[in-house]
Structure 1
């Protein structure tokens, strides 16, 4: 949270004491709801998994990747997206990696995200 700034106002014409006026220059934007979207990519070889990860990270979805994990022939990717970006994410994912298996959506709690940072 940003601190409040104080501005001292002095009138040149009057001999009245200066007044302190509080100015808060922080504009609050409504925080959007965040969604966690798990995706699994099956691969036959390590080269294929690296190619899939490279394609994913170099497409516009790369900014949403919150984690990547290799587990028994699958690459599991966790996307952290805003609720209003879900449509874009889903369409781009299908166009980029049509063989991906999309998991169950879950809400990301704000408290858990702030404690991770």
Structure 2
């Protein structure tokens, strides 16, 4: 027993749709926060290894700035507040020696040097 299906014929010329005007939609950017983290390293090689570990972890996508100062690696994460819990757990699991700084709103980046 064969099932019959209707044959649909499509035009060779695509139909042009009218552009939809959406003037009532205002795109809001999701609020972001900066999370400074210090990775203490005893030597320059150890600092670079900690940074490499961080950048190749899932947290590497959040890193917006890195700096090596006196053997320590200063890292700034740009994250959404909704991702904060997961980010903290992953950071502690990946690099337990990390020193976590104070959260700042992304607009307050002038305070971050």
Match of 2:20 among 20, 23, 30: 23
CA RMSD of aligned residues (A): 2.7
Unaligned runs of 5+ in 1: 1-7, 10-20, 113-117
Residue pairs, 1:48-63, within 5 angstroms: 48-63=46-61
Return the offset for 1:50.
1.2
Equivalent runs, 1:23-42 vs 2, <5 Å: 23-24=20-21, 30-42=28-40
C-alpha separation between the residues in 2 aligned to 1:68 and 1:86? 19
Trace 1:1-117 onto structure 2 (pairs within 5 A): 23-24=20-21, 30-109=28-107
Higher strand proportion = 1
Runs of 4+ in structure 1 deviating by more than 3 angstroms, as ranges, are 27-30
Whole-angstrom CA distance in 1 between matches of 2:21 and 2:64:
33
Q: Take 1:22 and 1:65, find their aligned partners in 2: how far apart are those partners? A: 39
Query: What's the TM-score once normalised by structure 2's chain length?
Result: 0.72
- Choose between structure 1 and 2 for higher RCO, CA contacts under 8 A separated by at least 6 residues: 2
Distance in 2 of aligned mates of 1:22 and 1:55: 48
Shift of 1:24: 3.5
Return the TM-score normalized by structure 1: 0.69
* 3-state DSSP of counterpart to 1:78: strand
